[in-house]
Structure 1
Amino acid sequence: MGNGNVIPIILNANFFFERAVRSLDRFQYDKALKNFRKAAEYEPDNPVNHCNVAGIFSEMGNYEASNEILTHVLENIDSSLTECHFYMANNYANMDNFEEAERSLVKYLEEDLNGDFLMESEELMELLNYELDRPAPLHRIRSREGVVEHDRARALLEEGKFTEAVKLLKEIVKNTPDFLAAHNNLALAYFYMGRFAKAKESIERVLDLAPGDLHALCNLAIFLQYEGDNQSLDRLLRMLEATIPFHQEHVFKLATTMGILGRHRIAYGHFRRLLKDEEVGGDAGLYHYCAAAASNSGLYTEAERCWRQVGKLDPESVVPRFYLAQLEQALKDNQPIPPVSYNYQLPFQEQLKLWKDNKGSFSDEVRSNPLIRSSFFWALRYGDSNTKLQVTQALRWIEDEEMSEVLRAIIEEQPIQEDKLQEAALFSLQRLTGKNTETEPLLGEESISPPRHKVQPEWKEDWQRIIDQTLGIMDRRYDSAQKKAAELLWKQFVGNLYPDVPFFRHVDGWCAALEYLTAKLHNRPVTYREVAQRYGVSPSMVSRYVRRIEDECDVKASMTDSFPPFTENI
């Protein structure tokens, strides 16, 4: 036989590995062990070969030998091979050494990034909890790090609590930078609040990690539209318009994005696809989205059909009745129906009108509706002066922490806000942070707000000097909202005196009285003597000027009813 017919045998790690695998297939553990050991001799720095040896020992019931090899791998070859801890936990459990099994399993769960054995770990943990009769001291599961928190953040978004969601999502992406869903939802939270620059920044992080992420691309398209970057938007839209997603979630995301961007025919096609899905096809909101896309595309017959279906699925909703009436009137007048929002709610001005008719009474559903809450943020940032004022007055009836923060922000942005808006925000905040008061009319001229002068006086320098001096001494001891309250109280006092405003000779005395009343309005402990010493005047002067301001502004009633204490450091 010539040498050309001889196939040389190359003895290396792969050769013995393949022989070991064939032996395992035949359940020949001794031969498999022998060959895996030879593979480890050829490649001593390859942890996989050693783990295979440990696995064979475990199959043969030699758990101690298996753990010795796994310990050698972690200590001398590759400490990042966290699955070794899982293997060791199983070995200890088989030896009935449940304490050590628990220690190894906890170490695996807290250090392993991928979670390849997460399901098996849950089963083993259940066994250990039973055997040890106590829960394991597990502080985190690294492979699921941020998942529980992210679910909570999503719930906050759905509840319209955008500020809380942002805080939580920022913490998640800080601890888990590659958590794409958290980045996307952070961008949405910023967007709902009208903070476009921060929203786009979050999306760009997602696309750096995953350039083809459909959620991020859709969000980016919306942000580009608001930026007015039509050239970049057109390129992105050509790609999105040619995309036919398979997953239900992606279809919905693309449909809503096309609707927001004005590609209503494309949006309509995607929404129609979703209506054929038995899982979501009976949702009233989805029929409204389809109706909106159809109406905005001029397909009024289809829009009417969809809104009638909304009425059947959600008979208590006023939304389908409102839009059907709008559609009927437009067709009667032979005019196109105005653009329809995809949000399954009445248009914002209609909501304000409804709340006014109800004398400011908000249902729990309205309080928790994220779309309505988002519209508040948008109106306060981009609405005209009248809309901002109406929304500020409306916020007093949504009793939660986030609305208090929004009102504080309005008060603190004094360089760019009107006095009337600041006063409305201050009064709304005082109502939210204190006791319940009687229901006041929400909108219109009869709305309750701090009394204002009927004629706007030309503001004089000596009047302003009292404000400036008081705020200078109050600085660092009072927050910005409380200082603003002092300023508004003084302006109210002067306005009520106008046009018979006297010359204020004892400036320090008036400043002391103004601080004293501000402190009392916010339930801060203060005495006439304390304030008098701070301003270098007599307690009797402070008392006299305080009574003068009280007489003009009815501050005593305010202190008992309308001016409950602020909560500091919200």
Structure 2
Amino acid sequence: MGENTMNDRQHQIAKIIPFLQTGEYYFKKGLKAYRKRDIYKAKKHLQRAIQIQPEDSMFLCQLAVVLTELGEYTQSNRILLSVIEKVDSEMTECFYFMANNYAHLGLFQEAYKYANLYLEMEPDGEFIEDTEDLLELLSIESDVEEEEFELQDELIVKQEKAREYLENGELEQAIQLLKEIISLYPDFWSAYNNLALAYFYSGEVAKAAEMLEEVLDKNPGNLHALCNMLVFLYYQRKNKKVKELVGRLESIHPILVEHRYKLGATFGLVGRYDLAYKWLRHLHKQGFQGDETFYYWLSHSAYFTNRLDVAKSAWERVLEENPDKKGSEPWADGKTKNFNDILDRWLKGDYIEERLYGLYLLSKTNKSITKDDIDGLELHATLELEFAEYICQLNRSRKKKQSPDYIEQGYQVVELLFNQNKNNGSSTEGLYLTWFMIYDQAILRNYHVSNCSAWAAATEYMWRKHQLSHVSQKEMASKYNISQATITKYVKYVKELLQ
């Protein structure tokens, strides 16, 4: 008995020892990830190495290089300066890296200063050719007046400081500095947008909205202002305006990666996961290496559009960046409120097709729907009330009360559309809304909806044509197992009703 206990203890010790890792261990892991171009993983391992050995100049410099690749130029320079001032004054390559960072920031005066400092201290240094190339580039950029250079440098320094205030929650300081920037640079729209955020975070919602309206008045189409406006409207529960602005943003196709990310994250925040997934997954497929926020919204948008593998893979990246997020994944207990929020917005929609779609979503939840579940909903038309009654009857074991045929048929059409498109990997909410729009008009104008396959095929054909998809009536007829003559007939009906 005693011998077994001793063997068990030795086995436990043997298992524990490999996990007592050194800073060097994490540094090597960071370098390996960096060489594989997994920059975020490299950053995480290097930060861990520095936690263990905070004054290792090599670890610090490598982290600074990684931060530069991530576009975190200011943070990179803070680390490089601390290396020179506090750790190792002979690491003169830090001056080259700092010059490079300042050039990226547009602070050309500072870039000149540190590039020349590197040349003075290391005339035969490893980065001498790179530094000379950088100075040549800076000389091309310096065709503007020196005074204008200084103004640009001052602007970027102030903007970085304001952003730092915002990130740290120092809202009063951020507001004062951003007001100063705007007074000096009245066409610098980024400052207006950040000032609007500062006002909003501090509870001055009216001032925040006023600031964004000023931006959009002077610079119509400013995407950051439009996205911020959408977030403000969402938190104020101005649902009608939210829908209008979502419709406007849905038709925008930005070129810049930054704008695509902003659009995707904003759609995620307001619960339009279908649109969020469209943009974030597009970036992901193109090799975009996002931050924790990017993978957070990618995971949520994937989960709430039934792409579970993508959701779980993205969430692993979130946990790599921030292990404290464990337990807050979109499928965790209590997260169903996100779906309930989406459901609530459709059920309380301004248009009948939105409310009918909300009722359909309600029928897809894993519970029996009772009259209490739909009491309090603002259902106006007879069609909605009858559709709601039909939803209540679904999944009941007792005998159903008879609903009008056209109610059951309308539901069967949307079920057909759903089952034919649930695995195609793209957003189809617009397809279902289109059907309910057609359905409402069909019932008002006494069209028969008994041929469910024909209505489904014609609806999807028209919707896909509207999406500029290359689709033929023949393809749709085959998909829904109807004849060419039948789909031609029903496409004609759909066009009449949509008009």
Give TM class, smaller chain.
0.3 to 0.5
**Which is richer in helix?**
2
Q: TM-score when scaled to structure 2?
A: 0.37
Q: TM-score when scaled to structure 1?
A: 0.33
Q: Which has the larger radius of gyration?
A: 1
